[in-house]
Amino acid sequence: MSNAFDFAPLLPAGLPAPAVKWTGSPKYNFTGGNNDADELPLDGIISAADAVLRREGRTLATYGLESGPQGYRALRDFLVQKLKRDAGIVCTADEILVTSGSLQAIDLVNGVLLARGDTVIIEQECYQGSINRLTRMGVNVVGIPLDKDGMRMDALATALDDLKRCGVRAKYIYIIPTVQNPTGSILPEQRRTEMLRLAEAHGVPIFEDDCYADLIWDHKRPPALHAMSKSANVIHIGSFSKSVAPALRVGYIVAPWAILSRMLSIKFDAGSGALEQMVLAEYCASHFSAHIPELTRGLRNKLDTLMESLNEQFGTAAEFEEPKGGIFLWVKLPDNVDTLKLYQPALAAGVAINPGPEWSVNKPHSRSRMRLCFASPTHDEIRKGIAVLAEVCHREFGVPTRISNVKRG
Amino acid sequence: MSNAFDFAPLLPAGLPAPAVKWTGSPKYNFTGGNNDADELPLDGIISAADAVLRREGRTLATYGLESGPQGYRALRDFLVQKLKRDAGIVCTADEILVTSGSLQAIDLVNGVLLARGDTVIIEQECYQGSINRLTRMGVNVVGIPLDKDGMRMDALATALDDLKRCGVRAKYIYIIPTVQNPTGSILPEQRRTEMLRLAEAHGVPIFEDDCYADLIWDHKRPPALHAMSKSANVIHIGSFSKSVAPALRVGYIVAPWAILSRMLSIKFDAGSGALEQMVLAEYCASHFSAHIPELTRGLRNKLDTLMESLNEQFGTAAEFEEPKGGIFLWVKLPDNVDTLKLYQPALAAGVAINPGPEWSVNKPHSRSRMRLCFASPTHDEIRKGIAVLAEVCHREFGVPTRISNVKRG
């Protein structure tokens, strides 16, 4: 349109770049938190939808399903039981706020605790969505290094002491303790005790993100930090995206009413999606416990395929710790590989990866690392995709030096 | 807990008051945008859920349902057809962004256009959710008076001229032109032409909120402002909350890609609820057109009951224009009634109303007015609720002077 209105002069400063038009999914997609379509419990979801709609579908005519603004009551009741059984959390339905995915949960926690210029402590390698939110809010981020068991408590103690010396009280310590994103580690119980001690001593609350905690190979889930706290200083969030289906946008917050009531007062959306809450509650009440072992078995098989493919295609050029659960593998490539620069040529060849620096606040450390999500591609796609990735990486960076046992270069 | 952590010192300034615990719905609920549970097309929704899940339910394993970040493709395809047929809007699926209710649509429009200190023009009486958002953002609001046909164009022209004299370019003119909230008026086509002329002359875009536009008694819906614009200067939003079910949180934005791409780039939620989008698309494709006349017939009957009850219980003390559609009635009580002060005693007696000042930027004008939503209560509840309201109003303010034909006082 030649005389089209120009919105550009009206835009405020600081907006992100405009989105680019979506052009479809990559052929080999190792990004995002997509799940295994074959493991989706579709029959159970269909039956649940039918049953719950027949029984109480007319409540859809009312905002909040006659359960009030904290979310569908049956879903919160399920969560009370599930969190007790799986994570040791003792809470009531009144201490749970259902959200539109865990991303809204993060927004609400940030909304009631953070202002520009505040400081928070997070894991050095950490969920991109959380890092980006803090950056956009102008919050100072102190990253704590990880080892194979997650956040290092010696480093946390040092960081807290350093901040104290500067007169800074961090607003929270954000951690994904159980199946860490992106490393897949699980924080041992002893470290949890130590973390709670440090947090209490410094008067800093803990923001515990347990979105992946259902997906543990050996099902040995430690008690949540929320469960171990003696002073109600932990805000706990979770999600059904990884355990049932990511496109269902349902997450939740568990927190003392004193702070949950603050979050509820800034949840201006007239409620989260009701149909999704109803169907999840109905499905989970009778099927969740049986579904999880099936799902994790399938995911574990895919992880094996991914690790085999990496060994085969990259050899020693790809280093990784075996994750204890979840849907992704955190891979170290040789130092000369810049995964931000590997991203585009890989995508052009049909392979999508998550470059390490997008999952880290330590850019030099993460420069040659990448996150690979193995849940969504099929076994065959994993094998072929990793082969293509190795070719591209070889072409761009000279590593791996050998491709499929054929020496190159 | 005696040693409970105190979050209070960590809260940033300017948070709203904490939420109070929900204690159930009032007996006679004339608030909110709840709909008629009897008119909810439950059988159709159940069939749609079953059909769409069986056909393509496995896509729930992927964020965005393999449709990309703008929303489920089949829903956008339905909207392209519906908006052409019902509102004269010519657009493609690429110009539509599906949102989590129209409230998220409003947040996204505000997010890409507004900064603290900006000025916008809105209808003097207007949707509470929109007014509150502008207040929270620290935006200056210029309210344009309404008459029985909606926004007065003479007043809009004066306001635009006044702003121009002060060197202020408003960021948008927000309007609910078709079934205005709370008055239920419809802006005539001639005023739409004039409004577009004024908007173009002053370089101010129009933000058209058409959330209630499906619900018109005589089904004579004028073309949308978006459809009439010759310069693509209108951002149009809509919703399924009022036409299908409010608890389904699905709304949408129609806008040129130049500005829609900006909104998409600040939609950080990993997609809106997929199950709701799927079920709505499946249901609407074959049933929407037939459902609307049934729904509006039922709503119109309830409006008649409400108007009769008001005449019976309040007599001349309750004045109102008959709305041309929708789910609410905007009622003027005698000048001595302060509806903000009527609210609490009415609620204590089981009757919930929306006080006028919450739906207006002109507090003196709206002081003795209230909004009554008639969609959710049954006919019997409408009659009984209005009788109780009249009693409370009589007790608190001395009006109506006669209750149920029995002189009081």
Return residues 197-216 of B near A (CB < 8 Å). 200, 205
C-alpha gyration radius of chain B: 22
**Residue found by looking up tokens 């931000």 in the block:** A340
Q: Which helix (H) or strand (E) holds B192?
A: helix B189-202
CA-based nearest residue to B10, from A210, A142, A70, A120: A120
Nearest CA in chain B to A13: B115
B345 contacts chain A (CB < 8 A): no
**Residue found by looking up tokens 């603004």 in the block:** A69
Tens digit of each residue's pLDDT (9 = 90 or more) over A292-331: 999 999 999 999 999 999 999 999 999 999 999 999 999 9
- CB–CB of A10 and B113 under 8 A? yes
Structure tokens belonging to residue A357: 């620096």
Structure tokens belonging to residue A174: 């954000």
Residue A195: per-residue pLDDT = 98
Q: What letter represents residue B188's amino acid?
A: P
Return residues 159-178 of B near A (CB < 8 Å). 169, 171
Nearest CA in chain A to B72: A247
Cα four-point dihedral sign A29, A31, A36, A40: negative
Structure tokens belonging to residue B348: 């204590």
- CB–CB of A232 and B35 under 8 A? no
Q: Strand pairing partners for A373?
A: A328
Cα–Cα distance between B36 and B34 in angstroms, integer? 7
Tens digit of each residue's pLDDT, chain B (409 residues): 457 999 999 999 999 999 999 988 899 999 987 888 888 999 999 999 999 999 999 998 887 777 889 999 999 999 999 999 999 999 999 999 999 999 999 999 999 999 999 999 999 999 999 999 999 999 999 999 999 999 999 999 999 999 999 999 999 999 999 999 999 999 999 999 999 999 999 999 999 999 999 999 999 999 999 999 999 999 999 999 888 888 889 999 999 999 999 999 999 998 899 999 999 999 999 999 999 999 999 999 999 999 999 999 999 999 999 999 999 999 999 999 999 999 999 999 999 999 999 999 999 999 999 999 999 999 999 999 999 999 999 999 999 987 655 544 4
- CB–CB of A60 and B13 under 8 A? no
Q: Strand pairing partners for B122?
A: B143, B174
- CB–CB of A248 and B7 under 8 A? no
Measured N-to-C along each axis, helices A379-397 and A274-314 cross at an angle, to the nearest 10 degrees, of 50
Kindly report the number of other CB atoms within 10 A of residue B97's CB atom: 25
Q: Choose among B69, B107, B118: nearest Cβ to A22.
A: B69
- CB–CB of B24 and A100 under 8 A? no
Kindly report the number of other CB atoms within 10 A of residue A3's CB atom: 10
Kindly report the number of other CB atoms within 10 A of residue A38's CB atom: 10
Tens digit of each residue's pLDDT (9 = 90 or more) over B176-185: 999 999 999 9
Instruction: Find out if CATH 1.10.3720.10 is the number for domain B42-287.
Output: no
Count how many residues are written for chain A.
Answer: 409
CA-based nearest residue to B294, from B14, B39, B11: B39
Are B223 and B191 contacting, i.e. CB atoms less than 8 angstroms apart? no
- CB–CB of A40 and B20 under 8 A? no
**Residue found by looking up tokens 């006044």 in the block:** B162
Are B208 and B177 contacting, i.e. CB atoms less than 8 angstroms apart? yes
- In three-state form (DSSP H/G/I as H, E/B as E, the rest C), the secondary structure along A76-104 is HHHHHHHHHHHHCCCCCHHHEEEECHHHH
Q: Which residues of chain A have pLDDT under 50?
A: 1, 407-409
A10 contacts chain B (CB < 8 A): yes
Residue B66: per-residue pLDDT = 78
Cα four-point dihedral sign A293, A296, A301, A302: positive
Q: Where are the alpha helices (DSSP H) in A166-273?
A: 189-202, 225-228, 257-265
Are A302 and B275 contacting, i.e. CB atoms less than 8 angstroms apart? no
A117 contacts chain B (CB < 8 A): no
- Rounded to 5 degrees, what are φ and ψ at A13? -70, 150
Q: Which residue ranges make up each domain of chain A?
A: 24-41+290-407, 42-288
Instruction: Find chain A residues with C-beta within 8 A of B60's C-beta.
Output: 40, 42, 45, 245-248
Kindly report the number of other CB atoms within 10 A of residue A401's CB atom: 13
How do beta strands A354-355 and A369-373 pair? antiparallel
Structure tokens belonging to residue A66: 């006659």
Q: Which of A3, A5, A265, A373 to mutate to test the interface with B (most CBs of B within 10 A)?
A: A5
Cα–Cα distance between A174 and A187 in angstroms, integer? 13
- CB–CB of B49 and A49 under 8 A? yes
The terminus-to-terminus CA distance of chain B in angstroms comes to 52
Return residues 269-298 of B near A (CB < 8 Å). 269-276, 279
Q: What letter represents residue A308's amino acid?
A: E
A145 contacts chain B (CB < 8 A): no
Cα–Cα distance between B359 and B367 in angstroms, integer? 10
Are A330 and A371 contacting, i.e. CB atoms less than 8 angstroms apart? yes
B228 contacts chain A (CB < 8 A): no
Which 3 state secondary structure label does DSSP give B146? strand
- 3-state DSSP helix/strand/coil % of chain A, to nearest 5: 45, 15, 40
CA-based nearest residue to A302, from A385, A367, A199, A201: A385
Instruction: Find out if CATH 3.40.50.720 is the number for domain A42-288.
Output: no
Instruction: Find chain B residues with C-beta within 8 A of A228's C-beta.
Output: none
The distance of A352 to chain B (nearest Cα, Å) reads 15
CA-based nearest residue to A10, from B136, B173, B251: B173
How do beta strands B173-175 and B150-151 pair? unpaired
Beta-carbon-side half-sphere exposure of residue A164 (alpha carbons within 13 Å): 12
Q: Where are the alpha helices (DSSP H) in A315-378?
A: 339-348, 363-366
Cα–Cα distance between A267 and A269 in angstroms, integer? 6
Residue A36: per-residue pLDDT = 84
Structure tokens belonging to residue A194: 């130590």
Kindly report the number of other CB atoms within 10 A of residue B179's CB atom: 27
Cα–Cα distance between B161 and B201 in angstroms, integer? 10
CA A379, A384, A386: angle at the middle one, nearest 5? 95
Structure tokens belonging to residue B406: 């029995």
Q: What letter represents residue B372's amino acid?
A: L
Which residues, 6 or more positions from B43, have their beta carbon under 8 angstroms from its beta carbon?
none
Q: Where are the alpha helices (DSSP H) in A236-273?
A: 257-265
Are A362 and A124 contacting, i.e. CB atoms less than 8 angstroms apart? yes
Are A186 and A164 contacting, i.e. CB atoms less than 8 angstroms apart? no
Q: Strand pairing partners for A406?
A: A403
Q: Which fold has domain B24-41+290-407?
A: Aspartate Aminotransferase, domain 1 (3.90.1150)
Cα–Cα distance between B385 and B389 in angstroms, integer? 6
CA-based nearest residue to A69, from B103, B19, B347: B19
Q: Where are the alpha helices (DSSP H) in A142-266?
A: 153-165, 189-202, 225-228, 257-265
The distance of B108 to chain A (nearest Cα, Å) reads 12
Predicted TM-score (pTM) of this structure: 0.95
Structure tokens belonging to residue B331: 């009622």
A116 contacts chain B (CB < 8 A): no
| Inter-CA distances, B303 with A214, A295, B147, B178, B387, Å | 50, 52, 20, 18, 16
